[in-house]
Homo-oligomer: A and B are copies of this chain.
Amino acid sequence: MKPSIPKGTRDYSPSQVRRQNFIFNTIRTVFEKYGYQPIETPVMENLDTLLGKYGDEGDKLLFKVLNNGDFLAKADLAALDRRDSNAVVSSISKRGLRYDLTVPFARYVVMHQHEIQFPFKRYQIQPVWRADRPQKGRYQEFYQCDADAVGSDSLMFEAEYLLMIDEVFNALGLSVEIKINNRKILAGIAEIAGIAEQMVAMTVAVDKLDKIGWDGVTNELVKNGISEPQVEQLKSLYECKDFQSLQEALSDSDIGLTGVKEIKEVFEYLKSITLKQTVIFDPTLARGLSYYTGCIFEVKSREVEIGSILGGGRYANLTGVFGMPGVSGVGISFGVARIFDVMQELGRFPDQIDQPIKLMLIALDQQCHLASFGLLRQLRQNHIVAHLYPEPAKLKKQMKYADTAGTPYVLLIGSEEVQQKRYTLKHMKSGDQWQLSLEEIIEKLKP
């Protein structure tokens, strides 16, 4: 049999693991610096916990785990005999793979509420699963990398996230644009334009402004039953790019004014602080997730054309669905897969990331091989990345191995060398060679 892996999943080669860990470690360092605490939750959650949290479409995209043992014994036989897959599921599957890190986090907060001191700042870097149709760049198993601060309404956290985002992308060596908006401003705009009921349709359409322009947006809005004069008014509202004019335009909407006030307060926190990355207030920013209720964030690369590489925002009620009301919070989620692609395309991963082997020891007989093993240990203790060919094979075979591997140096160890404790170091490309003691080799090759 020829083995394969499921569609939509992938193996990570050593080089990919190292690159991904470079991104994770960079983000983790910033999270830790700002006092965020790591948690991990199980890959399998009870389906009760997951179902109904991501809409009907999300429910379909959950991977369900078959109950163990004689699962048909407790199956819904009527549904089975009707061949009704949807109706059968709950009787043969109790567990599913997590779909994101937010719902498990909400579940964690509720279950551990008595151990937690609020506000609680946590981060979590773990894979999630979605049964989406696999396509280029879209996988069924992928990492998410989230930070959330829950149990406080303070806008200080929004300001803190802007600092953290700035620091992460600075450390990665990427140039980005950070967009900020507030859902309450969107509600205000809809209210003033007299289309409060159609706010979702409005945000969905305006979200596409970059791609389809105002003509396209107008078409879509009109299709949704919004009149042309209303669209004109929307357009003029959206064109207020500074707080002053927006405040005037929204003066008849309490919620809209609150939104502007909140964003202004976020910027107040940052007044004495200079960020390296660009932060832009963009009233057209909507973000898809319907649970956001306050400030929302999005980050895009300024160097590579790709979707957003970070999203986030404030939500009024994280844990209500699990019977614990009143826990609001704000969080961000890094799009690690896209950040990986941007780093790769721009060649921004550090050169030394693959820790190439600097030196291969070549022993010419079994006695030399045993002696070389001791040398190898001393080289490694001096932080020289080295290895010994696993057996005293023919010189030509060992040299060919080092050449294929691209090892810059080899060390030749024959019985005379072992006796005199001076070894032949050879530079593969130039062919230069030296007779050196172990101390001299360490001196020459140490990092």
Q: Is the CB of B370 within 8 A of A268?
A: yes
| Contact status of A97 and B35, CB under 8 A, knowing A43-B43, A156-B373, A377-B163 | no
Cβ–Cβ contact A391 & B156, under 8 A: yes
| In the complex, chain B residues whose CB is within 8 Å of the CB of A226 | none
Tell me the smallest distance from the CB of A439 to a CB of chain B, in Å: 17
**Which positions 211-238 of chain A face chain B at CB distance < 8 Å?**
none
> Does A33 lie at the interface of the complex (its beta carbon under 8 Å from any beta carbon of B)?
yes
Judge if A426 is at the interface, Cβ distance under 8 Å. no
For A159, the chain B residues whose CB sits under 8 A away are 373
Contact A38 B18 (CB under 8 A): yes
Q: Are B391 and A152 in contact (CB under 8 A)?
A: yes
The verdict on A11 contacting chain B, using a C-beta distance below 8 Å, is: yes
Interface readout for A368-399 with B: 1 if CB under 8 Å, 0 if not? 01110110010010000111101100000000
Q: Give A364 Cβ to nearest chain B Cβ, in Å.
A: 15
Report if A154 contacts B (CB, 8 A).
yes
Query: What are 27 A-B interface contacts by the 8 Å CB criterion?
Result: A1-B323, A2-B110, A3-B107, A3-B110, A5-B49, A9-B42, A9-B44, A12-B39, A12-B41, A13-B115, A14-B39, A17-B38, A17-B40, A35-B386, A44-B63, A44-B140, A63-B66, A68-B131, A72-B80, A72-B84, A73-B85, A80-B80, A154-B390, A154-B391, A156-B391, A157-B390, A273-B374
Q: Is the CB of B380 within 8 A of A6?
A: no
Q: Does A93 contact B (CB under 8 A)?
A: yes
A341-375 with Cβ < 8 A to chain B: 355, 357, 369-371, 373-374
Give chain B nearest CB distance to A216 CB in angstroms.
Answer: 33
Q: Are A93 and B72 in contact (CB under 8 A)?
A: no
Identity of the chain B residue whose Cβ is nearest the Cβ of A109 in the assembled complex: B3
Q: Name the residue among A34, A72, A73, A117 with the largest chain B CB count within 10 angstroms.
A: A72
Chain B: CB-nearest residue to A375: B272
Give the residues in chain B near A94, CB-CB below 8 Å: 6
- Report Cα–Cα, A299/B73, bound state, in Å: 43
Which residues in chain A, 94-132, are within 8 Å of chain B measured between CB atoms? 94-95, 97, 107-108, 110-112, 115, 117, 119, 122, 127, 129, 131
| Contact, CB under 8 Å: A72 / B63 | no
Are A373 and B115 in contact (CB-based, < 8 A)?
Answer: no
Min Cβ gap A62→B in Å is 9
Q: Indicate if A60 sits at the interface (CB-CB under 8 A).
A: yes
* A434 interface residue (CB < 8 Å to B): no
Query: How far is B387's CA from A33's CA once the two chains are assembled, in angstroms?
Result: 10
Q: Which residues of A contact B (CB under 8 A)?
A: 1-6, 9-14, 16-18, 21, 32-35, 37-46, 48-49, 60-61, 63-66, 68-73, 75, 80, 83-85, 88-89, 92-95, 97, 107-108, 110-112, 115, 117, 119, 122, 127, 129, 131, 140-141, 152-154, 156-157, 159, 163, 268-269, 271-273, 322-323, 355, 357, 369-371, 373-374, 377, 380, 385-388, 390-391, 401, 404-405
Say how far A419's CB is from chain B's closest CB, in angstroms: 15
A370 surroundings in chain B (CB, below 8 A): 268-269, 271
Within 8 Å CB of A10, what residues of B?
42
Docked Cα-Cα span, A117 to B404, in Å, equals 9
Contact B374–A6 (Cβ < 8 Å): no
Distance in angstroms from A231 CB to nearest chain B CB is: 39
- Residue of B73, B112, B357 near A83 (CB, 8 A) is B73
How far is the CB of A55 from the nearest CB of chain B, in Å?
Answer: 16
How close is A355's CB to chain B, nearest CB, in angstroms? Answer: 7
Alpha-carbon separation in the docked complex, A154 to B387 (Å) = 13
Smallest beta-carbon distance A93→chain B, Å: 6
Q: Report the minimal beta-carbon distance from A440 to chain B, rounded to whole angstroms.
A: 20
Bound together, the chains give a CA A65 to CA B93 distance in angstroms of 9
Per the bound structure, the CA–CA distance linking A319 and B171 in Å amounts to 42
> How far is it, in angstroms, between the C-alpha of A63 and the C-alpha of B44 when the chains are bound?
10
Among B41, B48, B373, B387, point to the contact of A35 (Cβ < 8 A).
B387
